Chain A
Amino acid sequence: MLQVYLPVAEISVNLLVMLGLGAAIGFLSGMFGVGGGFLLTPLLMFSGIPPAIAVATGANQIVASSVSGALVQWRRGNIDFRMGLVLIIGGVVGALAGVLLVGLLSRLGHADVFISLVYVTFLGVIGSLMLVESVSAIRRTRAGQPARARKPGEHTWIHGLPFKVRFPRSRLYISAIPPLILGAIVGLLASILGVGGGFIVVPGMIYLLRMPTNVVIGTSLFQIIFVTAIVTILYAVLNHSLDILLALLLVIGGVIGGLFGADAGQRLKGEQLRLLLAVMVLAVAARLLIGLLVPPEDLYSLGRVVAGA
Chain B
Amino acid sequence: MRSALLLALLAVAFLPGRQAVAAEPPRAEQVQSDVSTREISIQSNFTGIEIVLFGSIDFSRAPSLDEGPYDVIMVIRGPNRAIVVRRKERIAGLWMNGASKTFPSVPGYYAVLASRPFRAAAPEAVLTKLGIGFSNLDFGKTSEGETADDGFRASLIRLQQDHGLFQESDDAISFIGRSLFRGSVQLPVDVPIGRYTTQVFLFRNGKLLSQSQSSLQVEKVGAERMIYTLAFHYPFAYGLLAVLMAVSAGLLAWTVFRRE
B257: which A residues are within 8 A, CB to CB? 68, 258-259
Indicate if A240 sits at the interface (CB-CB under 8 A).
yes
CB distance from A204 to the nearest CB of B (A): 24
In whole angstroms, how far apart are the Cα atoms of A67 and B255 in the complex? Answer: 11
In whole angstroms, how far apart are the Cα atoms of A15 and B43 in the complex? Answer: 14
Indicate if A299 sits at the interface (CB-CB under 8 A).
yes
CB distance from A267 to the nearest CB of B (A): 15
A60: which B residues are within 8 A, CB to CB? 242-243, 246
Contact A299–B249 (Cβ < 8 Å): no
Q: Give the residue of B94, B243, B253 whose beta carbon is less than 8 angstroms from that of A113.
A: B94
Max chain B CB contacts within 10 Å: which of A7, A68, A225, A240? A7
CB distance from A134 to the nearest CB of B (A): 27
B96: which A residues are within 8 A, CB to CB? 110, 113
Known: A65-B250, A67-B251, A293-B95. A232 touches B242 (CB 8 A): yes
In whole angstroms, how far apart are the Cα atoms of A292 and B240 in the complex? Answer: 35
CB distance from A206 to the nearest CB of B (A): 25
CB distance from B7 to the nearest CB of A (A): 55
Is chain A's binding surface mostly helix, strand, loop or mixed? helix
CB distance from B140 to the nearest CB of A (A): 11
Contact A300–B45 (Cβ < 8 Å): no
Contact A64–B249 (Cβ < 8 Å): yes
Indicate if A161 sits at the interface (CB-CB under 8 A).
no
Q: Give the residue of A108, A113, A236, A305 whose beta carbon is less than 8 angstroms from that of B239.
A: A236
- Count: A-B pairs, CB below 8 Å: 179
Known: A293-B95, A302-B85. A63 touches B246 (CB 8 A): yes
Contact A12–B239 (Cβ < 8 Å): no
Taking residues whose C-beta sits less than 8 angstroms from the other chain, chain A's interface range is 35 or more
Contact A304–B239 (Cβ < 8 Å): no
Known: A71-B250, A300-B85, A300-B86. A242 touches B224 (CB 8 A): no
Indicate if A147 sits at the interface (CB-CB under 8 A).
no
Indicate if B160 sits at the interface (CB-CB under 8 A).
yes
Q: Give the residue of A237, A245, A295 whose beta carbon is less than 8 angstroms from that of B95.
A: A295
In whole angstroms, how far apart are the Cα atoms of A7 and B46 in the complex? Answer: 10
A selection of 13 A-B contacts at a CB cut-off of 8 Å is A5-B224, A8-B227, A63-B246, A64-B247, A65-B250, A67-B250, A113-B96, A117-B94, A236-B239, A242-B231, A255-B253, A296-B88, A305-B82
Which 6 A/B pairs are nearest by Cβ-Cβ distance? Answer: A67-B250, A236-B239, A233-B239, A300-B155, A63-B246, A305-B82
Query: Which B residues lie at the A interface, using CB under 8 A?
Result: 42-47, 81-90, 93-97, 100, 102, 151-152, 155-156, 158-160, 189-190, 220, 223-225, 227-228, 231-232, 235-236, 238-243, 245-247, 249-254, 257-258, 260
14 further A-B contacts with Cβ under 8 Å, apart from A67-B250, A307-B82, are: A4-B44, A5-B42, A7-B225, A8-B228, A11-B189, A71-B258, A72-B258, A109-B86, A109-B100, A233-B236, A295-B90, A300-B87, A300-B156, A302-B160
Query: Which A residues lie at the B interface, using CB under 8 A?
Result: 3-5, 7-8, 10-12, 60-61, 63-68, 71-72, 75, 108-110, 112-113, 117, 225, 229, 232-237, 240, 242, 244-245, 247-248, 251-252, 255, 258-259, 292-296, 298-305, 307
